[in-house]
């Protein structure tokens, strides 16, 4: 429970932080205000006071920003999934660009020669991969939805405008299904939804064995979805074991496409794929234009996953080597390479967070390198790079501007010129910042 300390404060908001909160300063102390935008005067209540800063939430907007819009979602004030629906799409991208630039300057003490134009996509209906939380209270009421803001409580969601319309439309029925399913089969950990080009999967994740009566419920629900005109499959996953299809006789793999490179990428429930298929295709296109792999060049793709960048790179490079920690992803990437005829794409399993100079020596020389790490960044890799194995060009795709800034400083110390950086609005309506950076060896 949040403790409200004080009421009836006002502030002029001058910036926004990486969580999407407005930033104000009162008597020299920073105040982070949920629901406030830059250039607004707001009335707020103080929620939490700390030594260095205060946390608050807006209770009324005295002078609104020109970029303020009405949130589209009826759950915006309670659901923790989106924090920027009250800002225009243009303002959201500008905020993210500002956060990227501030992190590069403050943490990395580096700044690119050029700021790339932001990459835009659809603001709504874009999220093709989502995890629904499932909870039951003491009275047996089951909720399917997302966590409340700053809480473990689940908000039961019956529509969501960032999901494709056909996924949002099933939420009322999914809530009803889980009410009956949990009574029969017990607790459900969560439900994953993954949307492919021709097929949408619901992966029901639980600990208990699937009871026959519960299986019948899922089969009827699946039949109803498919009779409504879509193509759906239900999969089951027990704990950390591999997921399996409820009806294995009719279970083709879902896939997404990268049409610019004529690449098809099958995936399974649990595989990491970008949540925004449209923006992923645009991001891959920008990354490969910056990388500019040539027919005589050997290229590395680190944290390669299923081969999202590796296979497009294979279309232009002499050889591309994808490096990935997870064994199962390496196997999946090899399968995807074979499907797409990319015989010059090789994949190796390695723990990139444990990279040392000796590891880099074992890899051999790469003309160019693409990095696409998780939020933790690629610090071990950037630290381990050394002559004569320094690639002449590095393109870094980041989902965390603070670790990008840290790693950019390391690369600058190794003789790389920070040529360009820019944001990719992969996660519209949220404060998550996806970005891309280009480094060139002096």
46 and 99 inside one domain? no
- As a whole number of angstroms, the distance between CA 185 and CA 173 comes to 18
Total domains present in the chain: 3
Establish if 270 belongs to a structural domain. Answer: no
Establish if 428 belongs to a structural domain. Answer: yes
DSSP-derived pairing of the beta strands 255-258 and 244-245: unpaired
Establish if 81 belongs to a structural domain. Answer: no
Smallest CA-to-CA distance from 442 within 409, 415, 418 is with 415
- The better pLDDT of the pair 440, 248 is held by 440
**Per-residue pLDDT tens over the stretch 9-66:** 899 999 999 999 999 999 999 999 999 999 999 999 999 999 999 999 999 999 999 9
Band the pLDDT of 7: cuts 50, 70, 90.
low
Establish if 77 belongs to a structural domain. Answer: no
Band the pLDDT of 1: cuts 50, 70, 90.
very low
Establish if 1 belongs to a structural domain. Answer: no
Range of the domain at 200: 129-255
Q: Which two tokens stand for residue 81?
A: 């999934």
pLDDT, residue 248, reads: 84
Give the DSSP letter string of 124-168: SS-B-EEEEEEEE-TT--EEEEEEBTTSSPEEE-S--TTS-HHHH
Q: What stretch of H or E contains 422?
A: strand 416-424
340 and 314 inside one domain? yes
Smallest CA-to-CA distance from 258 within 194, 312, 294, 336 is with 312
Q: Which two tokens stand for residue 192?
A: 């994953």
- CATH code where residue 63 lies: 2.40.50.140
433 and 314 inside one domain? yes
332 and 190 inside one domain? no
Give the DSSP letter string of 260-311: GGTEEEE--TTS---SBHHHHHHHHHHHHHHH---TT-EEEEES-TTTTTHH
- As a whole number of angstroms, the distance between CA 360 and CA 354 comes to 11
**Per-residue pLDDT tens over the stretch 160-212:** 999 999 999 999 999 999 999 999 999 999 999 999 999 999 999 998 899 99
Establish if 317 belongs to a structural domain. Answer: yes
Check: CB of residue 336 under 8 Å from CB of residue 255: no
401: three-class secondary structure by DSSP: helix
353 and 337 inside one domain? yes
DSSP-derived pairing of the beta strands 29-34 and 53-63: parallel
Please report, rounded to a whole number, the percentage of residues in the chain having pLDDT higher than 70: 98
Check: CB of residue 287 under 8 Å from CB of residue 370: yes
Residue 2 has pLDDT above 70, yes or no: no
283 and 236 inside one domain? no
Question: Binding site for S-adenosyl-L-methionine, residues?
Answer: 274, 303, 308, 324, 351, 372
pLDDT, mean of residues 332-350: 98
- As a whole number of angstroms, the distance between CA 26 and CA 126 comes to 38
202: three-class secondary structure by DSSP: strand
- CATH code where residue 403 lies: 3.40.50.150
CB atoms within 10 A of CB 438: 25
Q: Is 166 exposed, middle or buried (0-12, 13-18, 19+ CB in 10 A)?
A: middle
pLDDT, residue 140, reads: 86
325 and 286 inside one domain? yes
Q: What stretch of H or E contains 181?
A: helix 171-185
**Per-residue pLDDT tens over the stretch 82-120:** 999 999 999 999 999 999 999 999 999 999 999 999 999
- As a whole number of angstroms, the distance between CA 230 and CA 25 comes to 52
346 and 375 inside one domain? yes
Band the pLDDT of 402: cuts 50, 70, 90.
very high
Rounded to the nearest integer, the mean pLDDT of the chain is 95
Smallest CA-to-CA distance from 185 within 166, 212, 165 is with 212
Q: Which two tokens stand for residue 49?
A: 């006071």
431 and 288 inside one domain? yes
pTM: 0.94
pLDDT, residue 6, reads: 54
110: three-class secondary structure by DSSP: coil
Q: Which residues fall within 8 angstroms of residue 413, CB to CB, at 6 or more apart?
A: none
pLDDT, mean of residues 402-412: 98
pLDDT, residue 92, reads: 97
- Edge-to-edge strands, sheet with 53-63: 6-12, 41-49, 53-63, 29-34, 22-26, 15-16
117 and 133 inside one domain? no
Q: One of 193, 304, 342, 399 is an active-site residue; which one?
A: 399
431 and 315 inside one domain? yes
Check: CB of residue 399 under 8 Å from CB of residue 94: no
CA distances from 250 to 166, 233, 356 (A): 21, 9, 46
Establish if 382 belongs to a structural domain. Answer: yes
What residues are paired with 438 via a beta bridge?
Answer: 395, 420
Question: Binding site for [4Fe-4S] cluster, residues?
Answer: 73, 79, 82, 160
Check: CB of residue 187 under 8 Å from CB of residue 227: no
Question: Binding site, residues?
Answer: 73, 79, 82, 160, 274, 303, 308, 324, 351, 372
159 and 299 inside one domain? no
**Is 399 tagged catalytic?**
yes
- CATH code where residue 166 lies: 2.40.50.1070
Establish if 78 belongs to a structural domain. Answer: no
């Amino acid at each position: 429970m949040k403790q409200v300390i004080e009421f009836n404060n006002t502030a002029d908001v001058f910036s926004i932080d990486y969580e999407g909160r407005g930033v104000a300063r009162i008597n020299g102390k920073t105040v982070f205000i949920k629901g406030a935008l830059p250039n607004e005067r707001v009335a707020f209540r103080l929620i939490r006071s700390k030594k260095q800063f205060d946390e608050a939430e807006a209770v009324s907007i005295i002078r609104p920003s020109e970029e303020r819009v009405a949130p589209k979602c009826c759950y915006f004030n309670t659901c923790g999934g989106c924090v920027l629906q009250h800002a225009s799409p243009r303002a959201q991208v500008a905020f993210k660009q500002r956060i990227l630039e501030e992190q590069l300057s403050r943490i990395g003490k580096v700044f690119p020669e050029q700021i790339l134009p932001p990459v835009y996509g659809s603001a709504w209906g874009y999220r093709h991969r989502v995890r629904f939380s499932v909870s039951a209270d003491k009275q047996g009421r089951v909720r399917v939805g997302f966590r409340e803001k700053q809480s473990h409580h689940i908000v039961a969601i019956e529509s969501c405008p960032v999901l494709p319309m056909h996924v949002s439309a099933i939420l009322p029925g999914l809530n009803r299904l889980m009410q009956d399913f949990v009574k029969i089969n017990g607790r459900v950990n969560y439900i994953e939804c993954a949307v492919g080009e021709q097929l949408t999967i619901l992966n029901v994740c639980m600990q208990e064995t699937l009871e026959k009566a519960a299986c019948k419920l899922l089969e009827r629900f699946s039949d109803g979805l498919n009779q409504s005109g879509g193509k759906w499959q239900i999969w089951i996953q027990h704990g950390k074991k591999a997921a399996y299809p409820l009806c294995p006789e009719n279970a083709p793999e879902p896939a997404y496409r990268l049409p610019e490179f004529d690449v098809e990428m099958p995936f399974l429930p649990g595989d990491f794929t970008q949540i925004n298929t449209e923006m992923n295709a645009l991001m891959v296109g920008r990354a490969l234009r910056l990388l500019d792999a040539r027919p005589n060049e050997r290229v590395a793709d680190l944290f390669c996953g299923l081969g999202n960048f590796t296979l497009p790179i294979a279309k232009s490079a002499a050889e591309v080597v994808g490096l990935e920690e997870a064994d199962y992803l390496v196997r999946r990437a090899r399968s995807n390479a074979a499907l797409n005829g990319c015989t010059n794409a090789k994949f190796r399993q390695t723990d990139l967070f444990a990279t040392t100079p000796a590891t880099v020596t074992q890899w051999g020389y790469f003309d160019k390198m693409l990095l696409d790490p998780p939020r933790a960044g690629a610090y071990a890799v950037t630290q381990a790079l050394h002559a004569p194995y320094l690639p002449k060009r590095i393109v870094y795709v980041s989902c965390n501007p603070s670790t990008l800034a840290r790693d950019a400083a390391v690369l600058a110390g190794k003789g790389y010129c920070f040529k360009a950086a820019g944001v990719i609005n992969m996660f519209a309506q949220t404060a998550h910042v996806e970005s891309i950076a280009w480094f060139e060896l002096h």
